[in-house]
């Protein structure tokens, strides 16, 4: 894909993000199923963000849960970039108008204490490199109208990234059974999603291995200090103004976020 072609698709997504007005799918601007070109589009807007002063703090893995893959009609994981200004404090409020069409999913976050530079990364490498784990909520969003996305659309759109919330009690990896964790997510006290660590590519560590190996192969490896959102443990749920979400993940604790009502400013 040429640089002007990538920039054209990136411009469409950037304008949608700026105006908070969803755009048509961008797959018409890319060859069908051309994931490599979709990542080129993603990189354009990531690099623009860095130039504008945004700070990269990690990566997210998407489309790891079979339930989410069914929801979106895709069959492979993807990744996107996390910026510091996407972080919402635990228990914080997402103000109206900040996102276009948010949905929430619960996942395991890993915070790295060492680099992961190898293309043939192993589970042992990930465990050694992980400083601590946290429960997390990812608030996904799509700049594409009606979530009418294919793998190409979501990859180009920074893997449908929006915001993220990390729990406040870090848990060292030693002795954790991340494959066996159980997750329940509620919206206003009513269960809306549940799953286990095994529902995330067979385990969050497997997802992290995939990401680390993929990024190392692209010459942009995971680094010490990076936050890694390892992927949804269950289906995502639509968020509306006034909703309060809480996820409980066994061995890791809980994490909450609220969505503000119209007129809220703090």
pLDDT digits (tens, 9 = 90+) for 33-51: 888 999 999 999 999 999 9
Chain-wide mean pLDDT for the chain?
94
Q: Is the pLDDT of residue 96 over 70?
A: yes
Q: Look-up: residue for tokens 């190996």?
A: 213
Q: What is the mean pLDDT of residues 52-59?
A: 98
Beta bridge partners of 232: 107
Which element (helix H / strand E) includes 186?
strand 182-187
**Does residue 265 surpass a pLDDT of 70?**
no
Q: pTM (2 decimals)?
A: 0.95
Residue 121: what pLDDT? 98
- How far from the centroid of its chain's Cα atoms is residue 44's Cα? 18
Which pair of structure tokens corresponds to residue 246?
């809480």
Mean pLDDT, rounded, for 221-244: 96
Asked if residue 129 has pLDDT above 70, the reply is: yes
Does residue 115 carry a pLDDT above 90?
yes
151, containing H or E segment: helix 151-156
- Position 150 scores a pLDDT of 87
**Would you say 79 and 215 are in contact if contact means Cβ atoms under 8 Å apart?**
yes
CB 127 within 8 A of CB 244: no
Q: What percent of the chain has pLDDT over 70?
A: 95
pLDDT at 122 over 80: yes
How far apart, in Å, are the Cα atoms of 60 and each of 19, 146, 153, 160, 223? 24, 22, 16, 10, 14
Q: Which tokens in the block code for residue 24? A: 């048509």
The pLDDT assigned to 239 comes to 98
């Amino acid at each position: 894909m040429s640089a002007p072609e990538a920039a054209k698709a990136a411009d469409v997504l950037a304008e949608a993000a700026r105006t908070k007005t969803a755009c048509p799918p961008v797959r018409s601007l890319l060859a069908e199923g051309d994931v490599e070109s979709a990542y080129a589009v993603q990189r354009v807007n990531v690099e623009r963000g860095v130039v504008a002063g945004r700070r990269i703090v990690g990566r997210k893995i998407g489309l790891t849960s079979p339930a989410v893959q069914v929801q979106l009609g895709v069959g492979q994981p993807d990744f996107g970039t996390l910026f510091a200004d996407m972080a919402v404090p635990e228990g914080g409020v997402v103000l109206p108008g900040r996102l276009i069409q948010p949905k929430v999913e619960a996942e395991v976050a890993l915070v790295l204490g060492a680099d992961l530079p190898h293309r043939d990364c192993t589970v042992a490498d990930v465990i050694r490199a992980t400083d601590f784990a946290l429960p997390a909520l990812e608030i996904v969003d799509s700049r594409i109208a009606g979530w009418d996305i294919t793998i190409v659309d979501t990859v180009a759109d920074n893997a449908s990234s929006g915001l993220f919330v990390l729990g406040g009690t870090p848990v060292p990896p030693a002795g954790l059974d991340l494959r066996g964790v159980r997750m329940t997510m509620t919206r206003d006290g009513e269960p809306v999603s549940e799953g286990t660590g095994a529902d995330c590519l067979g385990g969050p560590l497997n997802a992290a291995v995939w990401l680390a190996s993929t990024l190392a192969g692209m010459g942009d490896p995971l680094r010490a200090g990076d936050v890694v959102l390892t992927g949804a443990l269950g289906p995502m749920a639509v968020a509306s103004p006034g909703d309060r979400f809480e996820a409980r993940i066994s061995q890791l604790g809980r994490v909450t976020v609220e969505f503000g009502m119209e007129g809220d400013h703090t």
